[in-house]
Structure 1
Amino acid sequence: MTSDPRPVVAFLSHSAALSGAELLVSRVTAACTRLTPVVVLGEHGPLEEVLAGAGVHCEVLPLDASVRDHSVGTTTGTVGNVRSTVRTTSALAELLRAMGTRVVYTHSAKAHVYGGLAGRLVGIPVVAHVHDIVGASGSSRANAALLHTALRLLPRTVIANSRTTARSLGRLRRPAAVIGCPTAVPATTPPRTSDPFTLGMVGRLTPWKGQDVVLRAFAAARSAGLDPSARLRLIGAPLFGDDALFERELGVLAAELRIADVVDFRGHSSDVEAEMAACDVVVHASTRPEPFGQVVVEAMALGRPVIAADAGGPAEVITDGEDGLLVPPGDVDALASAMVRLATDREARGRLAENGRRSVTRYELAHVVGQIEDVLLAAAR
């Protein structure tokens, strides 16, 4: 790494799971051209294999379970075990020096704290990329206060993935740079060649993602005129905490609504693009504001019309009625009406898909990576 004239940037995350922030890390590091990325993870996991396949150098600095624990709030591990955080910070500082790191680039709430502290300890500028709304419903007020303080004091620059996320960050030393998540926009859209009409939803199976809302809306849409042969595909799997219980509840709900025979629980997919390409319409239904909504831009890039909850990042991406449809979060009747509308109006589907493909080009991978590299190189200087 030392022979490469490009500055070494350490991309830090405590998690090696294939969730939104970590997938962004894998895409961005594989596409960097003006810097040398090294990913430093706090645990072993599937992200390592993805990075290796892309030729991205990865180091694992195992964290104590109290710091790494995914089942707690955003930074409970660092609050609950200061001693572990001190050990982590010290070990990371040594690793950063050994790698000749020029910028520390943090990508998770825990990493914003221990990575920010390590960077300050060795005098390396820190850039924090915030992927989640700080203080979102269900999170700890104490943890939110800690993260607000860390983001104000530790990084030189903060990147937010949406204006919604930026507004949640509190008072910073300078305004956050808003850079959306990258997506690949194929030259042509994959064709939809088979029947029946299919609605799809992609996302972790967890209550706030709203799979239960989609099931209820799909059942209501069938009662309101949706072709009985239409199908619903739920792509995703439980990841943390009580998610597995929610998955079982979804199966029970589908049976109670008498739609189990037309609902496909697809589980985790390593080829989300193929799953969405098999759909006529993609639905996003988070019941609380989404920080960005990666699935929304991915579906638009594939030429699939999107129905999304009118809150958070998706409401910044979509212009209602022009390049997608927006419905109030959690509104079963409104979502059902939108489903019926797009199922019965092929012209509207085509128009929304075409406009969506055009508007989503602002999130093309090369463009977003260029924006991120600009921020990181400015910090390195």
Structure 2
Amino acid sequence: MSDGGNRLQPAPAPPDGGRPLKVLCLDIEGGHGGSSRSLLASLSRIDRERVEPLVWCRRPGSVVEKYQELGIPCRVTPEMPKISALERNSRTLLDLARLATQLFRARGFLRRLVDTARTADVVHLNHEGLWLLAYWLKARTRVAVTLHRRTMLPNTVFGHLQVNLIHRAVDGQVFISDNERRNAEDLGRHPPIGPVLFNIAEPPAPGTAPHPACRDDPRFKVALLANFAWIRGTDRLLEVAQALAARGAQDRVVFLVAGTMRMPRRYPGPLAQAARQGWQFDQVVERSQIAGMIRFLGHISDPERVLVGCDALLRLSRGNNPWGRDVLEALAAGRPVLTVGSYQRFVEHDVTGVLLPRFDAGQMADHILALAEDPARTRRLGAAGAERIARLCDGPTQAAALAEVWRAAAARKAGLRADRTG
């Protein structure tokens, strides 16, 4: 699309109730992760008489075409800078050193962002990794800025700093669960402003065909929807598969993994040497004795097809956070979830899935086998999960609540401007 097709028309200030609120949404992933799919779900359900959205994606992906189908202008802006605190301060410092290069390359993007923001009522940063843009806009525009808190920031110097800087720079926040809100309270100096809004998750459309990899395999099929990362615990799949093999279950269970499997060169633990040699995780598995138990599908733009073709979802995150996008979509599809943690809003042990307090490969293997041997229980857990998601993650309700966050932020910003000039 041309720039003209991606510019909002000038908005009167302050916004009134007689026209849609003009909202520019910045998407960090472009369909390659849960935050991007969650934003798409929200905007597909938003009341267009109340909100006129425009989306900029940092990466190209399937969501660009989906936005076009919805009639929502969307452009790809790969220069969009991002940075977020990591578990290790040394890694954060390395990213900060690279930030200067990011900002230099983003000069054109930053100019276009300011120009477009001046025609909007709200700029919504769809991930905390975009927090620095809030400061850029605050110094150069009068637009209201909101931010979506989608991850648990680490309890480090940089984690504390990021939380407090976000609080100072934005006019409102949205938290995907009470865990992220509590994280902001624990790390910040001030109470966070903004509600908890669960991500929208709806069942796959009737007639959704299973992914081809799921067909013609009689084994109990377990999906894992995640790009490779240490914090996501993707490498733990090896341990679970080996535990199943030790129980003689090679011919009874198969894992279908959707996501990119590139390992960073500096990777801790047993895979460190393979990572230094440039191997990907799927290459490590292919050279192991359990290769036949794991099938790698690469990046999938329609993970619902994988879920429809599988019997359950496995999430092995080291963050002990059983509430990600993959969890919600699996439960919405009527598939029980096996995961690790203590938060039971979505995955409740023996009600909607299996929730272990801590990771244990042997215990997880036993639970997978128990589900494989009891199809009726698997269906019962799946049905309970689908009912829970329908109640908590309803599309129209959550989209309307997000629109209200934007309206309130724009009204507060307009009120502050009026106070200063009155």
Q: TM-score, normalised by structure 2?
A: 0.76
1:367 pairs with one of 382, 385, 397: 397
Whole-Å separation in 2 of the counterparts to 1:308 and 1:286? 8
Deviations for 1:128-161, whole angstroms, at most 9, x for unmatched residues? 111111126xxxx454244222222111211111
Question: Could you tell me whether the CA contact under 8 Å between 2:35 and 2:126 is conserved in 1?
Answer: yes
The structural deviation recorded for 1:218 is: 2.6
Structure 1: 5+ residue stretches without partners: none
Q: Are 1:104 and 2:134 counterparts?
A: no
Whole-Å separation in 2 of the counterparts to 1:294 and 1:83? 28
Q: Residue 10 of structure 1 aligns to a residue in which SS?
A: strand
Q: Which residue of 1 aligns with 2:79?
A: 63
Q: Residue 200 of structure 1 aligns to a residue in which SS?
A: strand
Whole-Å separation in 1 of the counterparts to 2:55 and 2:319? 31
2:369 pairs with one of 340, 353, 356: 340
Question: Could you tell me whether the CA contact under 8 Å between 1:210 and 1:330 is conserved in 2?
Answer: no
Q: Residue 105 of structure 1 aligns to a residue in which SS?
A: strand
Question: Could you tell me whether the CA contact under 8 Å between 1:211 and 1:250 is conserved in 2?
Answer: no
The structural deviation recorded for 1:25 is: 2.2
Whole-Å separation in 1 of the counterparts to 2:300 and 2:387? 27
Distance 1:16 1:261, change over 3 A: closer
Distance 1:276 1:110, change over 3 A: closer
Q: Residue 147 of structure 2 aligns to a residue in which SS?
A: strand
Q: RMSD of the TM alignment (CA)?
A: 3.5
Q: Are 1:185 and 2:214 counterparts?
A: no
Whole-Å separation in 1 of the counterparts to 2:305 and 2:290? 24
The structural deviation recorded for 1:306 is: 1.3
Deviations for 1:305-334, whole angstroms, at most 9, x for unmatched residues? 11112256xx43211111111023431112
User: Aligned residue pairs: how many?
Assistant: 369
Q: Residue 55 of structure 2 aligns to a residue in which SS?
A: strand
2:334 pairs with one of 303, 308, 311: 303
Structure 2: 5+ residue stretches without partners: 1-7, 11-17, 268-273, 412-422
Whole-Å separation in 1 of the counterparts to 2:282 and 2:79? 34
Q: Are 1:30 and 2:44 counterparts?
A: yes
Alignment of structure 1 residues 1-381 onto 2, 5 Å? 1-2=8-9, 5-16=19-30, 18-33=32-47, 34-41=50-57, 43=58, 45-46=60-61, 47-59=63-75, 63=79, 67-68=81-82, 73=92, 76-77=95-96, 80-81=99-100, 84=103, 91-97=112-118, 100-119=119-138, 121-135=140-154, 141-169=156-184, 170-186=188-204, 195-224=218-247, 226=249, 228-238=251-261, 241-242=264-265, 245=275, 248-253=280-285, 255-256=287-288, 258-290=289-321, 292-311=323-342, 315-361=344-390, 362-381=392-411
Deviates more, 1:52-61 or 1:245-254: 245-254
Whole-Å separation in 1 of the counterparts to 2:117 and 2:230? 38
The structural deviation recorded for 1:76 is: 3.9
Distance 1:68 1:341, change over 3 A: same
Q: Residue 43 of structure 2 aligns to a residue in which SS?
A: helix
Question: Could you tell me whether the CA contact under 8 Å between 1:218 and 1:339 is conserved in 2?
Answer: no
Distance 1:291 1:353, change over 3 A: closer
Distance 1:15 1:277, change over 3 A: closer
The structural deviation recorded for 1:185 is: 2.4
